[in-house]
Structure 1
Amino acid sequence: MSEQSIVLQGVGVGRGAVWGPVATVRPAPEVPADEPVPADRAAAKEKVLDAFTLVAKGLRAQAQGASATVADVLKATAQMADDPALREQTGQRIDKGEPPMHALTAVVASFAEMFTAAGGYLAERVTDLNSVRDRVVARYQELPEPGVPPLPWPSIIVAPDLSPADTAALDLDKVLGIVIEQGGPTGHTAIIAGQLGLPCVVRATGASQLGDGDIVALDAAHGTVTLDPDDETRAAVETRRAGLAALAEATADGATADGHHIALLANIGTAEDAERLTDAAVEGVGLFRTEVLFLGATTAPTVEDQATVYTRALAALGGRKVVLRTLDAGADKPLAFVTQAGEENPALGVRGFRLVRHAEGLLRTQLEAIARAAKESGGTPWVMAPMIATVEEARQFSAMAREAGIETVGVMVEVPAAALRAKDILAEVDFVSLGTNDLAQYTMATDRLLGSLVDLLDAWQPALLDLVAATAAAGVETGKPVGVCGESAADPVMALLLTGLGVTSLSMSPSAVPAVRFALSQHSLETCRAIGEVARKAPTAAEARAAALTLVDPHVREVLALD
């Protein structure tokens, strides 16, 4: 890298690297400070409400041509544009004599404040809420909607943030990567970039200063964006791209160098996601987030509706392992028809399996649908419940699932209490799966969607490693499977550590599988165990990862840019 190069630091998503010209998104239209009060308030109100309707219609039209993951969030954003409270409060302000766009801005600001205070999933939706506002303002002013412009050539998209609608508008044949100044590693942009296999850097401070046509090198593995990269940096990018492309061609099952098998699985949210895995080199699905079917719905999906989706997914995988997580709603994923209002701290409230306390029928209906899908598809799904904290809860879920006809029953370990008593919980079920995202959140008392505290949520935090190790040890002792389906499974070095601890399967975004497969294939089980041992002796997260890296093969470190 030349001395003149400016390097922006952020948080990387994936391991890819790319270089090319910048393309910035169209800015949001400005609301005039001196916007006048309309002479005809009724006509102005009608024009604003029409703008809401047009925005919702446009978002749904985009959803029709988008991938399943993007389509789901586009539909949710369209529902936001249709939200009666948002429209009604804006109209009321106009009726009282406020300028239309000032009225809209004030209402959206109040909603954004509520979402931010609620935290979690709702806080992440503030970007979508602001996107609706900006689109309505543009429609009202009869201007082009803000977002990504048509790309004349392959480019790296740079923006303060991207809404799902912006992402859905991308011409993927011409998008090299994504850089955003805001957001976080679990936000919509990061998730969609991971699903699409696009190199991405979020929280890249200073990215908004980049301009159209600037040449940058994006390195997701190191979370860097280099302005005016020199020949050496460009060559390193091309070497990484070629190396990762070669790894993606491998199709062998996951295993260490000495033949110890580790199942490499995919995380999905829809039947369409499952169908896209038909030719993918994964051994099945380790996490089917079934709540995607529920989010945004005003009433619970019927047994028939759910069974149709689950049957499609099971049939698409053709007998491969499929682990379905029952409804994980509440807290950051509220449902209109079940989430309780007024919880002061919803992340610690009625969420996940705890919904059975006041909506048992919701879970029983889902279990019936899964059992029906198993019969119709000929598959044998594994089914697990989220947010299990006690042996009693594990026992209760196991009884309900088996009564419904589910053969293989498990639970998620996301609460420290469950990790500490994993052996007793495994006495009640057939397997457990570690959700390291939530486990980190509850271990470190830190909102996992709050980007400013991302260091506390590091998967290498010693306390978190201890809980993972305790759960894996319980699996080894009882002879039952212990999987990991949190983001840590996608880290090649962490994958080695987890294997060494006794974890039996790793589930991640399909685009992350090749690097993990390669890392495993180059290390023996003995080395994996040694990595786990040295990492757990370290007093800090940084020292734990550094200690693990000393035992990683130098060639693997070079190919995957792990240093």
Structure 2
Amino acid sequence: MADDAASGPATLAGLGVSPGRTAGPCLRMAGPPELPAPYAVPDVDAELAVVGKALEAVAEDLRRRSAAASADRSAAEILDALAMMADDPTLREEAEQAVRDGMDAPHALDAAFTRHREALAALGGYLAERAADLDDLKHRAVAAALGVPMPGVPSPGHPFVLIADDLSPADTAGLGPEVLALVTVRGGPTSHTAILARGRGLPAVVACAGAADLADGTLVAVDGGTGEIVAGVTEVEATRIREAEIAERARLAATSGPGRTADGHPVKLLLNIGSAADLRPDGEGVGLFRTEFLFLDRRQAPSYEEQVTAYADVFAAVPYVVVRTLDAGTDKPLPFLGLAEEPNPALGIRGLRVDRVLPDVLDTQLDAIAEAARRTGAEAWVMAPMVSTPGEAAAFARRARERGIAKVGAMVEVPAAALLADRLLREVDFLSIGTNDLSQYTYAADRQHPALADLLDPAQPALLRLVERCAEAGRAVGKPVGVCGEAAGDPGLAPVLAGLGVTSLSMAPVCVPAVRDALSRHTLAECRELARAALAGD
């Protein structure tokens, strides 16, 4: 890139996944340690101790990072989950057995992690993403066994743009304030990197193949909204871009109030949360309460009373809350469920489909939600994930209403539900569109596949047509239809969604000011015109 910089700026294209503009010198992520040549093991017990200490060091480092990130619940939960993976007794036993079979500790760890990775990758979907996490854990464990620094984010002592082939959840969750933006060669719009970057308000671009050729120290300008990266900007330009972004963020932070178009049409701005700890004063309520965070990494299901307390904490703090029942299954494995492995988890027992094999789980959760609503005096809104048919919607609604739950809804995450949105709304009181999964199923594109990131762009016309169909069905019967996928937090897409007829947008709290501002800049007629252009692919 040195020649390019000398002859003028060069523009690279990626997929913008977290809006914002910034500029600064780029630095590459430190790579994994190199495995030395295999060596003879003179003392098996000593080598076994190296394996154990290496895994313990990795787990302890992740727990330390989690404690430091406790204010960011999503980051802390990801780090805790990774620490549990490093503590997996089966993994440790495999590495120790390899040592007993004559392998040295670094190679034994490498082999054990590789076997586990291959097993998860073969399952596809969410489990394949966990397989990529094992690569990061392997590199950390091998580094610990070799006595060298663990791979990770550089710390140069000055602000910089981080360039990486891909970023592990552990590294993304532990980023310090000197990181101005993220640029990855691989990744997609629903990767952990993208979700955590959006949650922190950090500009991010993924799937940018050209970033692999950027030399350390190159001054780059990053636009996390458009995905454009300009390499070879001047110091003066970089300073101007940073100052403009700081001013823009200050302007947005000063805004407040409900979501409205320029002519006053309401579009409710809601928050996506995992617990009461995620609540922020901005926003008009909670549009997606992800209750599965209470269940993560549990060997036993949380008790009825534990669930009541967790739900009541949120109900007592916010007047409007939409609770999503457990979104789990073999694509998001929860140990206490004990579900069998499947050849294609993304198309298997997940979301509401878990009820087909474990109905008591949903019954207990609905009972707990209803009791929490009674104790707090809240009006509970409850929706089921992965609803595919009107019959499923009707059965879920019947069970929820039997418990006195006021409002019952369904998530639209598969095309079948969108195509029959009018019939679903005969059974339920509202719909919430999960654009992440709806993109995946509409385009038959794995949401974690880095080479298919463009197909998962929520601005794709086919996806927007399904959103429009749902919104029209809601408008016909006077029932609300919201969006709670990552698309809802995109200020460039918010006016389009409003123009399609969406009544609410639910997003990470940090996204609310920019979305509020984007809506306020357009009349409803202008939003509808933007929607028409987007549907046409213009």
Residue 53 of structure 2 is aligned to residue 50 of structure 1 = yes
Q: Matched residue of 1:506: which SS? A: strand
Q: Matched residue of 1:225: which SS? A: strand
Q: Distance in 1 between matches of 2:186 and 2:492?
A: 27
Residue 344 of structure 2 is aligned to residue 345 of structure 1 = yes
Q: Matched residue of 1:221: which SS? A: coil
Question: Given that residues 30 and 152 in structure 2 are in contact (C-alpha distance below 8 angstroms), is that contact kept between their aligned partners in structure 1?
Answer: yes
| Residue number in structure 2 paired with 1:555 | none
Alignment of 1:354-365 (within 5 A): 354-365=353-364
Alignment of 1:97-112 (within 5 A): 97-112=102-117
Go from structure 1 to structure 2 and tell me whether the alpha carbon gap of 1:339 and 1:208 turns closer, same or farther (over 3 Å shift): farther
Question: Given that residues 217 and 234 in structure 1 are in contact (C-alpha distance below 8 angstroms), is that contact kept between their aligned partners in structure 2?
Answer: no
* TM superposition score normalised by structure 1: 0.89
| Residue number in structure 2 paired with 1:175 | 179
Residue 231 of structure 2 is aligned to residue 227 of structure 1 = yes
1:254-287 CA distances to partner (integer Å, 9 max, x unpaired)? 111211111011212232112xx1x32x111111
| Residue number in structure 2 paired with 1:557 | none
Go from structure 1 to structure 2 and tell me whether the alpha carbon gap of 1:170 and 1:496 turns closer, same or farther (over 3 Å shift): closer
| Residue number in structure 1 paired with 2:428 | 429
Question: Given that residues 2 and 229 in structure 1 are in contact (C-alpha distance below 8 angstroms), is that contact kept between their aligned partners in structure 2?
Answer: no
| Residue number in structure 1 paired with 2:290 | 289
Alignment of 1:437-456 (within 5 A): 437-456=436-455
TM superposition shift of 1:313: 2.3
Q: Could you tell me which amino acid in structure 1 is paired with residue 30 of structure 2? A: R
TM superposition shift of 1:530: 2.8
| Residue number in structure 2 paired with 1:265 | 270
| Residue number in structure 1 paired with 2:31 | 27
> Alignment partner for residue 249 of structure 1, among 254, 272, 291?
254
Q: Matched residue of 1:283: which SS? A: coil
Q: Which moved more, 1:504-513 or 1:158-167?
A: 158-167
TM superposition shift of 1:327: 0.6
TM superposition shift of 1:506: 0.8
1:303-348 CA distances to partner (integer Å, 9 max, x unpaired)? 222222222223333x2x2111111112431222225324222211
1:147-179 CA distances to partner (integer Å, 9 max, x unpaired)? 22444222222333322322343322x222222
Residue 14 of structure 2 is aligned to residue 10 of structure 1 = yes
Question: Given that residues 324 and 384 in structure 2 are in contact (C-alpha distance below 8 angstroms), is that contact kept between their aligned partners in structure 1?
Answer: yes
Identity %: 50
Q: Distance in 2 between matches of 1:441 and 1:165?
A: 25
Q: Distance in 1 between matches of 2:6 and 2:382?
A: 53
TM superposition shift of 1:26: 3.3
Q: Could you tell me which amino acid in structure 2 is paired with residue 476 of structure 1? A: R
Question: Given that residues 380 and 407 in structure 2 are in contact (C-alpha distance below 8 angstroms), is that contact kept between their aligned partners in structure 1?
Answer: yes
Alignment of 1:203-242 (within 5 A): 203-230=207-234, 231-232=236-237, 234-236=239-241, 238-242=243-247
TM superposition shift of 1:137: 1.4
* TM superposition score normalised by structure 2: 0.93
RMSD: 2.1
Q: Distance in 2 between matches of 1:214 and 1:240?
A: 20
Q: Could you tell me which amino acid in structure 1 is paired with residue 68 of structure 2? A: G
Q: Matched residue of 1:492: which SS? A: coil
1:45-69 CA distances to partner (integer Å, 9 max, x unpaired)? 2320222122212211221221211
Q: Could you tell me which amino acid in structure 2 is paired with residue 192 of structure 1? A: L
Question: Given that residues 217 and 237 in structure 1 are in contact (C-alpha distance below 8 angstroms), is that contact kept between their aligned partners in structure 2?
Answer: no
TM superposition shift of 1:232: 4.5
| Residue number in structure 1 paired with 2:133 | 128
Q: Which moved more, 1:147-156 or 1:420-429?
A: 147-156
Question: Given that residues 398 and 428 in structure 1 are in contact (C-alpha distance below 8 angstroms), is that contact kept between their aligned partners in structure 2?
Answer: yes
TM superposition shift of 1:452: 1.0
Specify every segment of 5 or more residues in structure 1 that has no aligned partner in the other structure, as ranges. Answer: 539-543, 547-563
1:163-203 CA distances to partner (integer Å, 9 max, x unpaired)? 2322343322x222222223222111211111111111222
Go from structure 1 to structure 2 and tell me whether the alpha carbon gap of 1:514 and 1:48 turns closer, same or farther (over 3 Å shift): same
Alignment of 1:368-447 (within 5 A): 368-447=367-446
Q: Distance in 1 between matches of 2:166 and 2:248?
A: 30
Question: Given that residues 316 and 376 in structure 2 are in contact (C-alpha distance below 8 angstroms), is that contact kept between their aligned partners in structure 1?
Answer: yes
TM superposition shift of 1:23: 4.0
1:51-94 CA distances to partner (integer Å, 9 max, x unpaired)? 21222122112212212111100011011101122111111211
Specify every segment of 5 or more residues in structure 2 that has no aligned partner in the other structure, as ranges. Answer: none
Question: Given that residues 446 and 456 in structure 1 are in contact (C-alpha distance below 8 angstroms), is that contact kept between their aligned partners in structure 2?
Answer: yes
Go from structure 1 to structure 2 and tell me whether the alpha carbon gap of 1:111 and 1:20 turns closer, same or farther (over 3 Å shift): same
TM superposition shift of 1:124: 1.8
Residue 519 of structure 2 is aligned to residue 508 of structure 1 = no
Q: Distance in 1 between matches of 2:155 and 2:241?
A: 29
| Residue number in structure 1 paired with 2:312 | 311
Go from structure 1 to structure 2 and tell me whether the alpha carbon gap of 1:288 and 1:61 turns closer, same or farther (over 3 Å shift): same
Question: Given that residues 12 and 223 in structure 1 are in contact (C-alpha distance below 8 angstroms), is that contact kept between their aligned partners in structure 2?
Answer: yes
Go from structure 1 to structure 2 and tell me whether the alpha carbon gap of 1:3 and 1:288 turns closer, same or farther (over 3 Å shift): farther
Residue 143 of structure 2 is aligned to residue 138 of structure 1 = yes
TM superposition shift of 1:220: 0.8
| Residue number in structure 1 paired with 2:322 | 323
Question: Given that residues 127 and 161 in structure 1 are in contact (C-alpha distance below 8 angstroms), is that contact kept between their aligned partners in structure 2?
Answer: no
| Residue number in structure 1 paired with 2:64 | 61
Q: Distance in 2 between matches of 1:454 and 1:145?
A: 29
Q: Could you tell me which amino acid in structure 2 is paired with residue 132 of structure 1? A: L
TM superposition shift of 1:461: 2.9
Q: Could you tell me which amino acid in structure 2 is paired with residue 78 of structure 1? A: A
